Amino acid sequence: MLIFEPMLIATDSEDEEGHLALYNGKLVGVFVRLAGAEHLEERGRLYLEAAFGQLEGLPTTTFADLDEAARWVETELEHPCGEDPVRSSFGKARPTRA
């Protein structure tokens, strides 16, 4: 089960609204809402600032909201390494790991 816990993140920028992503009670990611003017079109979207476990090292994009981020996290975590590549709702093939 995936849950998000709101948490302020010390980023040394305006991007401090964060959400800890917990899957089955384990921290798998830290999402931060992009708030600074430097983000242009990405402003207001969520970015995976830190990833752990199966999410570590995977290419990501930004997400419109927590629902979209949750779909991506669940897709990646529910298809372990070694299975056929999974296409997420973002159209990217999940890389296989050595």
Strands (E), 1-98: 2-8, 17-23, 26-33, 46-51
- What band does 54 get if pLDDT is binned at 50, 70 and 90? very high
- Residue 91 inside a domain? The answer is no
- Residue 84 inside a domain? The answer is no
pLDDT digits (tens, 9 = 90+) for 18-43: 999 999 999 999 999 999 888 898 99
Q: Are 31 and 8 in contact (CB under 8 A)?
A: no
Residues in contact with 14: Cβ distance below 8 Å, sequence separation at least 6, in sequence order: 35, 36, 37
Instruction: Give the number of domains in the chain.
Output: 1
pTM for this one? 0.79
- Residue 96 inside a domain? The answer is no
Q: Which of 8, 6, 5, 7 is nearest to 23 (CA)?
A: 5
pLDDT digits (tens, 9 = 90+) for 65-98: 999 999 999 999 988 654 544 444 444 443 333 3
Q: Are 87 and 93 in contact (CB under 8 A)?
A: yes
- Residue 13 inside a domain? The answer is yes
Which structural domain range is residue 51 located in?
2-77
pLDDT at 59 (0 to 100)? 87
Mean residue pLDDT across the chain = 84
- Residue 53 inside a domain? The answer is yes
CA distances (Å), origin 38, targets 13, 35, 89: 10, 8, 27
